[in-house]
């Protein structure tokens, strides 16, 4: 298979690129290196550095025939989307429109998309299923939902689309320098530096943490299908972890003082309180089951982070 990965220098995109190459596939990456790093891209992959928010981005895509496009490039921070909603819409939604048209024109039959649990908003009880009404409360969720709909229209013209509503993905490779995205990596960055951890909003808020390798497994299973039975899948572990529990587990894994200082800050109206995923559809259709538990996953991540810092 020859696969084009946008955002392949980032956390999830580079993990997917490495797995594809390890399994004998060809990979090309397009990324503007805004939050990703060139060092994350496998050496064997073709790399084009370009900004997919630019209207002329299609002229800069790698040439030749592709079997699939995995669109992960995005501005992926909720707070940043509130600071710059127009830019968020350009990077996250306009790029999806352009890339889906490009696939239809160039006979790229598969389009896999990195959507997010933020599309659901704050109204649902956990666990949430894919057929729940989507009412995002931040611009980031709106641009992800807009992308899903743009892809639904492209699918009417024959593009085989799968969107993954990923919950809180964590693990080795997450950008510890990006303090705007990724609760586990943000807290870990402060703890590794021995600094007070700022926590925005209630310690009782919760997230559904899913390990990077489990996420890549689902993408790989879907890539091997000509088309998935459903167009949209939740990818989570299906388990709630409160902010308090996450901090406690991290402190435990890192063998730090249980009274490590924490600073509670005012929450944002744009932040979701908490949601877990009903993953039965992905389990059934993709023959997939997330394996990693939070303690072991965070231990892997801490071991990686310590090496990174050295
Ligand atoms: N990490 C999570 O928990 C999570 C959850 C749900 C959805 N997602 C989505 O998954 C995708 C990957 O997330 P991630 O955690 O790997 O984030 P990341 O920031 O590590 O990766 C995003 C990549 O996209 C690149 N990029 C950003 N803007 C670009 C642009 N205009 N042109 C070209 N490249 C650009 C960045 O340089 C980076 O390499 C994103 O679409 C994100 O919204 C992530």
Q: What pLDDT score was predicted for residue 100? A: 98
Q: What distance in angstroms lies between residue 291's CA and the mean position of ligand 1's atoms?
A: 23
Q: What pLDDT score was predicted for residue 272? A: 84
Q: Name the residue of 15, 18, 28, 35 to mutate for ligand 1: max ligand atoms within 8 A of Cβ.
A: 35
Per-residue confidence in pLDDT tens, the chain, 310 aa: 999 999 999 999 999 999 999 999 999 999 999 999 999 999 999 999 999 999 999 999 999 999 999 999 999 888 888 899 999 999 999 999 999 999 999 999 999 999 999 999 999 999 999 999 999 999 999 999 999 999 999 999 999 999 999 999 999 999 988 887 889 999 999 999 999 999 998 999 999 999 999 999 999 999 999 999 999 999 999 999 999 999 999 999 999 999 999 998 988 877 889 999 999 999 999 999 999 999 999 999 999 998 887 5
Asked if residue 189 belongs to a domain, the reply is no
Q: What distance in angstroms lies between residue 168's CA and the mean position of ligand 1's atoms?
A: 13
CATH of the domain at 122: 3.40.50.720
Asked if residue 98 belongs to a domain, the reply is yes
The alpha-helical segments, DSSP class H, found in 106-169 are: 139-156
Domain of residue 53 covers 2-170+211-238+275-291
Asked if residue 182 belongs to a domain, the reply is no
Q: What pLDDT score was predicted for residue 78? A: 81
Residues 72-100, buried b or exposed e (16+ Cβ, 10 A)? bbbbbbbebbbeeeeebbbbbbbbbebbb
Asked if residue 82 belongs to a domain, the reply is yes
With a Cβ cut-off of 6 Å, ligand 1 is lined by 7, 9-13, 31-36, 51-53, 72-76, 91, 114, 116, 166, 168-169, 175, 182
Its pTM stands at 0.97
Asked if residue 247 belongs to a domain, the reply is no
Number of domains in the chain: 1
Asked if residue 154 belongs to a domain, the reply is yes
Asked if residue 62 belongs to a domain, the reply is yes
Pairing of strands 206-207, 241-242: antiparallel
Asked if residue 52 belongs to a domain, the reply is yes
Q: What is the Cα–Cα distance from 170 to 188, expressed in whole angstroms?
A: 11
Q: What pLDDT score was predicted for residue 310? A: 59
pLDDT digits (tens, 9 = 90+) for 11-35: 999 999 999 999 999 999 999 999 9
Q: What distance in angstroms lies between residue 87's CA and the mean position of ligand 1's atoms?
A: 14
Q: What distance in angstroms lies between residue 77's CA and the mean position of ligand 1's atoms?
A: 9
């Amino acid at each position: 298979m020859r696969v084009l990965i946008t955002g392949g220098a980032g956390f999830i995109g580079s993990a997917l690129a490495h797995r594809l190459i390890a399994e004998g596939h060809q990979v090309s990456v397009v990324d503007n290196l805004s939050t990703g790093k060139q060092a994350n891209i496998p050496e064997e992959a073709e790399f084009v550095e370009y900004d997919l928010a630019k209207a002329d981005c299609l002229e800069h895509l790698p040439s030749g025939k592709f079997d699939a496009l995995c669109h992960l490039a995005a501005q992926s921070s909720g707070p940043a989307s509130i600071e710059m909603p127009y830019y968020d819409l350009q990077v996250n939604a306009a790029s999806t429109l352009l890339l889906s048209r490009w696939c239809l024109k160039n006979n790229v039959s598969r389009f896999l998309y990195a959507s997010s649990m933020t599309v659901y908003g704050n109204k649902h009880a956990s666990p949430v299923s894919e057929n729940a009404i989507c009412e995002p409360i931040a611009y980031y969720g709106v641009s992800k939902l807009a992308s899903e709909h743009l892809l639904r229209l492209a699918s009417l013209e024959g593009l085989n689309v799968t969107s993954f509503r990923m919950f809180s993905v964590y693990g080795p490779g997450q950008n510890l320098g990006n303090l705007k995205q990724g609760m586990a990596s943000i807290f870990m960055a402060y703890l590794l530096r021995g600094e007070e951890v700022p926590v925005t909003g209630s310690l009782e808020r919760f997230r559904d943490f899913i390990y990077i390798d489990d996420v890549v497994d689902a993408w790989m299973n879907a890539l091997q299908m000509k088309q998935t039975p459903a167009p949209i899948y939740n990818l989570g572990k299906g388990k709630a972890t409160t902010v308090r529990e996450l901090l406690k587990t991290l402190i435990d894994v890192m063998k730090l003082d249980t009274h490590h200082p924490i600073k509670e800050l005012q929450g944002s109206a744009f932040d979701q309180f908490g949601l877990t995923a009903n993953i039965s559809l992905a389990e059934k259709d993709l023959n997939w089951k997330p394996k990693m538990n939070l303690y072991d996953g965070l231990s892997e991540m801490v071991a990686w982070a310590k090496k990174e810092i050295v």
